[in-house]
């Protein structure tokens, strides 16, 4: 059921994204990965504006993996806007960061993050984390079926 929902990866670092892609492939995650490289692009994607004005260009993700330290609009701001929106707030957001700062962890949970994960530094731990993420979020958790905007519900 969850395998059709895209996973939106918000990651500005090419090497981290490549490692995540390899880990998703190794774990045989069937969900399509969609990447946004910064906070502004992510908000355009999720709110379907700018570069992503339609549902075809920006299918609603079933899960968002969000890096905190992004250029421009950072991950904290993205999280706050997503969780403040009645259409988007049901999408699980998992922060995926190198920051183990207790203030970052606390503020993310206060803003409604579903989980806060530290990026592993080695591929083996990275792959294990993705396998566990796949098993839990994509096989057992019941995810929302693509929250819709008012316009989509009217059609």
| Average pLDDT taken over every residue of the chain | 89
Question: Looking at residue 103, what is its pLDDT?
Answer: 95
Q: Between residues 24 and 4, which one has the greater pLDDT? A: 24
Structure tokens at 29: 């995650």
- Check if the beta carbon of residue 61 is closer than 8 Å to that of residue 3: no
Structure tokens at 46: 């999720």
pLDDT, one tens digit per residue, over 88-146 is: 999 999 999 999 999 999 999 999 999 999 998 888 888 899 999 888 888 888 766 65
- Check if the beta carbon of residue 23 is closer than 8 Å to that of residue 127: yes
pLDDT-based confidence at residue 155 (cuts at 50, 70, 90)? very low
Q: What is the mean pLDDT of residues 49-58?
A: 94
CATH of the domain at 11: 3.40.50.2300
pLDDT, one tens digit per residue, over 44-53 is: 999 999 999 9
Number of domains in the chain: 1
Question: Looking at residue 145, what is its pLDDT?
Answer: 60
pLDDT-based confidence at residue 2 (cuts at 50, 70, 90)? low
Q: What is the mean pLDDT of residues 53-73?
A: 94
Q: Between residues 138 and 83, which one has the greater pLDDT? A: 83
Q: Give the structural domain span for 105.
A: 2-154
User: How many CB atoms lie under 10 A from the CB of residue 98?
Assistant: 14
Give me the DSSP letters along 132-148: HHIIIIIIIS---S---
């Amino acid at each position: 059921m969850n395998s059709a929902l895209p996973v939106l990866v918000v990651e500005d670092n090419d090497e981290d994204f490549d490692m995540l892609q390899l880990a998703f492939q190794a774990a045989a995650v069937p969900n399509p990965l969609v990447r946004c490289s910064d906070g502004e692009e992510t908000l355009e994607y999720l709110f379907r504006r700018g570069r992503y004005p339609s549902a075809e260009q920006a299918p609603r993700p079933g899960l968002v993996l969000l890096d905190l330290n992004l250029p421009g609009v950072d991950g904290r701001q993205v999280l706050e806007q997503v969780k403040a929106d009645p259409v988007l707030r049901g999408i699980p957001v998992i922060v995926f960061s190198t920051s183990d700062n207790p203030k970052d962890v606390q503020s993310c949970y206060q803003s409604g993050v579903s989980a806060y994960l530290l990026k592993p530094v080695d591929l083996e731990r990275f792959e294990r984390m993705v396998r566990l993420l796949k098993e839990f979020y994509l096989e057992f958790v019941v995810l929302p079926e693509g929250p819709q905007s008012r316009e989509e519900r009217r059609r």
